[in-house]
Amino acid sequence: MADTGIMDTLPLFACFLLTVLSSESVVFAAEPELTLHPGGNLRQGDTLTITCETTNFEMFDFIRISRVGEGQMGRTGEIVTNNVLDDDHKDSGRYILEESIMDTDTGVGKIKLRINNIQGKDGGKIECAHRPKMQIASEEISIAVPPKEVKLMYLNEDGEKVEVENGGVLKMKYGQESGMYCHVEVEGKTTAPKIDLLMDNKNAKKTFKTNHYTDTGVAQTGFLNDKYVADMEYVSNKPNVDFDGKKLKCKAKLGDFPPLETAAQIEVLYAPQMKCDARTFVKLGAKEAKIECAVKMNPAPNLSSWSFGKLPNRTVLQMGESSEEYSATMEKVNRNDYKFSLLINEEITQDHLQSFELAVGNDVGRVDKSIGLHEEGGAVWEEAQASASRGSALCMFFNTVSIVALAATILMT
Kindly indicate the confidence band of residue 102, based on its pLDDT and cuts at 50, 70 and 90: very high
pLDDT in tens, 336-350: 999 999 999 999 999
Domain residue ranges in the chain: 30-144, 149-269, 276-376, 381-413
For residue 57, the SS3 value is coil
- Say yes or no: domain 149-269 is CATH 2.60.40.10: yes
Determine the Cα angle at 188 with ends 187 and 192, to 5°: 85
**Predicted local confidence at residue 230, as pLDDT:** 77
The phi, psi pair for 346, rounded to 5°, reads -155, 170
Q: Is the peptide bond before 132 cis (omega within 30 degrees of 0)?
A: yes
**Side-by-side strand order, sheet with 279-282:** 279-282, 366-375, 355-361, 303-308, 315-318
**Predicted local confidence at residue 396, as pLDDT:** 66
Determine the Cα angle at 385 with ends 348 and 398, to 5°: 155
Does pLDDT of 222 surpass 50?
Answer: no
- Say yes or no: domain 30-144 is CATH 2.60.40.10: yes
Distances (CA, A) of 137 to 67, 80, 127: 12, 15, 6
Does pLDDT of 104 surpass 60?
Answer: yes
Task: Provide mean pLDDT across the span 298-315.
Answer: 92
Q: Do domains 30-144 and 149-269 have the same CATH topology?
A: yes
Task: Look at 395 and 389; give whichever has higher pLDDT.
Answer: 389
Domain 276-376: assigned CATH number: 2.60.40.10
The phi, psi pair for 87, rounded to 5°, reads -60, -45
Task: Look at 258 and 226; give whichever has higher pLDDT.
Answer: 258
For residue 235, the SS3 value is strand
Residue % of the chain over a pLDDT of 70: 80
Does pLDDT of 391 surpass 80?
Answer: no
Nearest Cα neighbor of 78 from 52, 58, 55, 99 is 52
Does pLDDT of 400 surpass 80?
Answer: no
DSSP string for residues in 134-190? TEEEEEEEEEE---SEEEEEEE-TTS-EEEEPTTEEEEEETTS-EEEEEEEEEESS-
The phi, psi pair for 89, rounded to 5°, reads -75, -35
| Residue 37: strand pairing partners | 49
Does pLDDT of 355 surpass 80?
Answer: yes
Minimum mean pLDDT range among 7-11, 112-116, 169-173, 307-311:
7-11
Nearest Cα neighbor of 227 from 286, 296, 148 is 148
Predicted TM-score (pTM) above 0.75: no
Nearest Cα neighbor of 129 from 67, 204, 69 is 67
Does pLDDT of 27 surpass 50?
Answer: no
Query: In whole angstroms, what is the distance from residue 83 CA to residue 168 CA?
Result: 51
Determine the Cα angle at 372 with ends 301 and 305, to 5°: 25
pLDDT in tens, 199-211: 999 998 778 877 7
Does pLDDT of 72 surpass 50?
Answer: no
Task: Provide mean pLDDT across the span 169-179.
Answer: 81
- Per the prediction, the chain carries an average pLDDT of 83
β-pairing verdict for 62-68 and 76-81: antiparallel
Query: In whole angstroms, what is the distance from residue 386 CA to residue 237 CA?
Result: 42
**Side-by-side strand order, sheet with 41-43:** 41-43, 135-144, 124-131, 62-68, 76-81, 84-85
**Predicted local confidence at residue 90, as pLDDT:** 86
Task: Provide mean pLDDT across the span 314-327.
Answer: 92
pLDDT in tens, 269-278: 999 999 999 9
Q: 10 Å Cβ neighbour count for 396?
A: 10
Nearest Cα neighbor of 145 from 301, 28, 255 is 255
Kindly indicate the confidence band of residue 373, based on its pLDDT and cuts at 50, 70 and 90: very high
Task: Provide mean pLDDT across the span 382-395.
Answer: 70
For residue 408, the SS3 value is helix
Does pLDDT of 28 surpass 50?
Answer: no
